[in-house]
Structure 1
Amino acid sequence: MANGAMKTQRWFDAVQRCQHKGEAYALVTVLGCTGSTPRDQGSKMVITGESTYDTIGGGHLEFVVTNKAREMISDNKSVQEIQHFPLGASLGQCCGGSATVLMETFAGCDFHIGLFGAGHVAKALVTILAGLPCKVTWVDSREAEFPADVPANVTQVISDQPTYELEQLPNGSDVLILTHNHQLDYELCLSAIKHGNLRHVGLIGSLTKAERFVKRMLHRGIDQTDIDRITCPVGLSDVPGKLPMEVAVSIAGQLIAVENKGKTTDARRGLAWKEIKQELGGEVNTEGQGSVLKVTHT
């Protein structure tokens, strides 16, 4: 069974993998236990929508925790919950002890980029996108143009129908059209307009290319409002340069601006220190740097 095989991968490797891929996951930690339990405090496992990694002891406890974690993951929010399980009374396990677990969910990445073309600019851009919290679908019909290794957050798609691949992108995706063929660029622009639910569409090229595309689209009866959703030339106008990496930096900067437009950061996130002290009790040591809350076990 796939899930069973995944248990051999340690939880910390799974966390790194999920972070790199932008995949939603839950990290489960046994905070404490009494009596006979499958695993001791500190045991951890990672749960995704499809797999589990490492184990907190198996049995019905792990089954219930896995199902609960997947319910939490489905909301795609980063939250924390502490749950207590009497193993004998509520879960029917023969050990008869109890376990308290911390369930932390980490939202998956919804910053999705469809990158069309595997030329010099696209290759340079991928090296930048590898370090950003995004998922990239990289499409080209020329297998030989792709590098031997691609970053963990990039999915390589070799397709003779790139327009179809564009139309299958999730709603809210950002699209970058950077192919070697002007006619293909034009057809991809039409597919982007047909999709209708993309956040940002960027087309590489000059102002002259943009004007020609606009005339062709208007001649086809495409509404000017739909045409205006395509940005050409793509990239930040105040970031000059014609080298592939310079163009890539300009495009990446524009994408980052689009992703963060209108976002605000709350001054307070999670539990305040005062609330944590109140809820957990214990002795606070303020010597040295910071404060230490020591929770005694009874």
Structure 2
Amino acid sequence: MSLDPAALARAADRGPFTRVVVARAQGSTPREDGAEMLVWADHVEGTIGGGALEFSAIAKARGGLTGIEKIPLGPAMNQCCGGAVVLGYERMDRTTVSQITGDWHARPLTPGTPEPLAVTRALARARDRGETPPLLVENWLIERVAPPATPVWVWGAGHVGRALIGALSPLPGLALSWTDSGAERFPDMIPEGVTPLIAENPADLISLARTDARHFVLTYSHSLDLELCHRLLAHGFGGLGLIGSDSKWVRFRKRLAALGHSDAQISRIACPIGDPTLGKHPQAIALGVATGLVKELNAAQAATGKGKRAG
């Protein structure tokens, strides 16, 4: 996991908060290194695994704890995991979030602590050799700064569109745009971080999308679906999924070919979408689509090279 400056900036708009991060996980633990939770006096976002550990961490964050806390889960929390974690507590606000720049962000969990030589060397190896530094060095956190969010466009606010937004909106690293032809087609509550876009003809919004965006076409109209696919093939995209049956896809392939698109271009569209073994319920389709997208993005991140972890 990595620091997401854009997400933290949105969090800071709510007011100062304490970020609780799993700085080190050993043995069987609820979450992995880098899992985070943001804690305000009246609100919590994210999770470090739930249960007694999380309940205790929330209370300590609200009590003003900063620095590191070492917790053997069995003896201290009576949890059956049997492992141990080191939690880092850091206060954040708009100023501290604005200081997150570059590829790696290193800072002490105890403010004012001089940078240890081990941190300096770990950062140098990360930048010069591509080695991934330890997350926790003495009482300093070193985290990769997340790249800009991946743009994802969901076309259609019907049952499947709503289910897909519900599945994708909690995930980090996504910039979600949600389109339809009228405000009445959207739910009363739109998840935080989702940008609703309305146009009489939603296809007119395609020019606003980045050419590397992922798109999921799920509208109420086959003719609109076809127009979206046609225009997106000309505009460019990082991925394009179309809801529909095998027979719908056969018809669409013929119509897109008649509109001048090559077989190679048309074959970049995924149809049907989701995992057919999960069924056709809107939530099942959304689950399959979201799982596929997460796998794709994780594989792409791994391919860009995490580097080997430094000792």
1:81, 1:127 → 2: CA distance?
Answer: 34
Query: What is the TM-score of this pair, normalised by structure 2?
Result: 0.56
The secondary structure found in structure 2 opposite 1:132 is coil
- Taking structure 1 as reference, are residues 173 and 7 closer, same or farther at Cα in structure 2, changes over 3 Å only? closer
Q: Do residues 172 (structure 1) and 198 (structure 2) align? A: no
Correspondence for 2:278: 240
Structure 1 spans left out of the alignment, 5+ residues:
1-5, 21-30, 32-41, 47-51, 56-64, 85-100, 273-298
1:161, 1:248 → 2: CA distance?
Answer: 24
* Cα displacement (A) at 1:186: 0.4
AA matched with 2:221: N
**Structure with larger RCO (C-alpha < 8 A, sep 6+):** 2
Q: Identity across aligned pairs (percent)?
A: 30
> Deviations 1:121-170 (Å, cap 9, x if unpaired)?
11111111122122210101121121111222211112223223223212
Cα pair 1:167 1:192 within 8 Å, conserved:
no
* Cα displacement (A) at 1:106: 3.7
Correspondence for 1:212: 251
The secondary structure found in structure 2 opposite 1:261 is helix
Q: Whose Rg is larger?
A: 1
Correspondence for 1:148: 188
Correspondence for 1:116: 155
Runs of 4+ aligned residues of structure 1 deviating over 4 Å after TM superposition are 42-45, 81-84, 101-105, 265-269
Q: Do residues 258 (structure 1) and 296 (structure 2) align? A: yes
> Deviations 1:221-277 (Å, cap 9, x if unpaired)?
21211111111111234x3312111111121122122212344374755x75xxxxx
The secondary structure found in structure 1 opposite 2:278 is coil
Cα pair 2:160 2:286 within 8 Å, conserved:
yes
* Cα displacement (A) at 1:102: 9.0
Correspondence for 2:134: none
AA matched with 1:116: W
- Taking structure 1 as reference, are residues 146 and 225 closer, same or farther at Cα in structure 2, changes over 3 Å only? same
* Cα displacement (A) at 1:190: 1.1
* Cα displacement (A) at 1:206: 0.8
Cα pair 1:111 1:173 within 8 Å, conserved:
yes
- When the two structures are aligned, how many residues end up with a matched partner? 210
Correspondence for 2:234: 194
1:159 aligns with one of 172, 177, 199? 199
2:272, 2:13 → 1: CA distance?
Answer: 48
Query: What is the TM-score of this pair, normalised by structure 1?
Result: 0.58
Cα pair 2:18 2:90 within 8 Å, conserved:
no
Structure 2 spans left out of the alignment, 5+ residues:
1-11, 20-36, 46-66, 68-88, 113-139
